[in-house]
Amino acid sequence: MNEIHLCSVIRLKDQATSYQLALEERPDNAGGSNAGNRKKRAVGHFSKFWSNGRTLKIGFVSDDLPDNHKQAIISAINKWQPFVNLTFEFIDGRDGTPGYGQGDIRIHTDSTHNYTLIGTDAKGNDSWTPTMVLGIKPSNPRFESTIMHEFGHALGAEHEHQHPEANIPWDVPKVYAHYAKSGTSAEDVDEQVLNKLHISQTTYTPYDRQSIMHYPVPNDQTIGDWEIGINSRISAKDQAFMRLAYPK
């Protein structure tokens, strides 16, 4: 339980560009009307879902990626397939010019980190730059759950522990101290763990302690008797969220 590492959710720094790309891909990203929430959102508070019903090309851009490693990633990503009205097409992302360039989502594995651009923010990356980095290896017992978590971000899902209704009784100094051991700054901890999302950025379903998008919460990092273990499966509410975001 104590070995907890941040996955970094990467966002385009230019929010106006992020907003424009999201709306070009799917106009209802402006107000979430696909899920019954028709309140107009300001720039900075909008969805980043892909167009419903489209084919999402997922390119592998690392050289010398063993086939068993690639297939393990594909298997984990496909766990989301039954719950979204999208077609996943896995391709060789190295075929583009220059270098990388193929795929709406471009996966790089030669790293020790895991991070992902949220949904349509991937459209703002240079064509030779990966949009998802998966440093975790198949030998890691948390490999599958980590890949599912990261691809949830690629589909537009945020961190569940930052849901406005989460109300986790964090012992903030202890949280900072824990992540500092791995060199994570307090600023990054705020961004990826502690700060709650604005209500208009959140999921269309209630807070879910069992979500694959939820970090583990150790008892020794909270005030009182409060903890959440490692969620290793796509929960029922995760499924409901994706069905609302990508209805069939």
What pTM, to 2 d.p., does this model score? 0.89
**CATH code, domain with 130:** 3.40.390
Q: Domain limits at 99?
A: 8-159+231-245
In a domain, 3, yes or no: no
Structure confidence by residue, pLDDT tens digits, 120-179: 999 998 877 899 999 999 999 999 999 999 999 999 999 999 998 899 999 999 999 999
How far apart CA 242 and CA 235 sit, in angstroms, is 11
Report pLDDT for 27.
94
How far apart CA 150 and CA 213 sit, in angstroms, is 8
Structure confidence by residue, pLDDT tens digits, 62-109: 988 999 999 999 999 999 999 999 999 999 988 655 545 689 999 999
- For the chain, what is the domain count? 1
Exposure string for 90-111, b = 16+ CB within 10 A, e = fewer: beebbebeeebbbbbbbbbbee
Helix 67-77 and helix 143-154, axial crossing angle in degrees, nearest 10:
60
Structure confidence by residue, pLDDT tens digits, 178-204: 999 888 899 989 988 999 887 765 556
How far apart CA 91 and CA 183 sit, in angstroms, is 35
In a domain, 24, yes or no: yes
